[in-house]
């Protein structure tokens, strides 16, 4: 696990996270934020709901996040599920808690 990068993503979560889109007009979902934090350029994610458009390191967003953060794919799926199923007002706090659980070895 790339704990340093995971902590950076957790500590810089925006106040508002979108549901179901990597990067849209209203901001990022958790996967989009994690990819931006990892150094991906926003153009590789803009208005894309499922993938990262990058010839060398792109692919399905879940797989790219899993690979870059060295986190189990199932944990990334759970982060995305939490992002999309949590009401907007509490989304940031719920996801911060899920990332803390990952860092503590408890899963998402």
Q: Residues 51-74: pLDDT tens digits?
A: 888 888 889 999 999 999 999 999
Going through the chain in order, the beta strands assigned E by DSSP cover 23-24, 27-28, 51-52, 59-60
CA 54 to chain centre: 17
Overall number of domains in the chain? 1
Q: CB of 102 within 8 A of CB of 75?
A: yes
pTM for the full predicted model? 0.91
Residue 108 in any domain: the answer is: no
**Per-residue pLDDT, 76:** 97
Residue 21 in any domain: the answer is: yes
Q: Which domain holds residue 17?
A: 3-103
- Report, in angstroms and rounded to the nearest whole number, the Rg of the chain calculated over CA atoms: 12
Average pLDDT, whole number, for the chain?
A: 91
Q: Which two tokens stand for residue 41?
A: 């350029």
Residue 67 in any domain: the answer is: yes
**Per-residue pLDDT, 107:** 62
């Amino acid at each position: 696990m790339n704990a340093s990068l995971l902590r950076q993503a957790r500590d810089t979560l925006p106040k508002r996270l979108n549901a179901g889109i990597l990067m849209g007009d209203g901001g990022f979902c958790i996967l989009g934020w994690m990819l931006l934090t990892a150094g991906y350029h926003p153009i590789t994610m803009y208005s894309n709901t499922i993938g990262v458009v990058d010839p060398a390191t792109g692919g399905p967003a879940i797989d790219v996040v899993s690979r870059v953060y060295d986190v189990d794919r199932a944990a990334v799926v759970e982060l995305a599920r939490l992002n999309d199923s949590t009401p907007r007002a509490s989304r940031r706090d719920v996801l911060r808690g899920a990332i803390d659980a990952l860092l503590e070895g408890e899963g998402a």
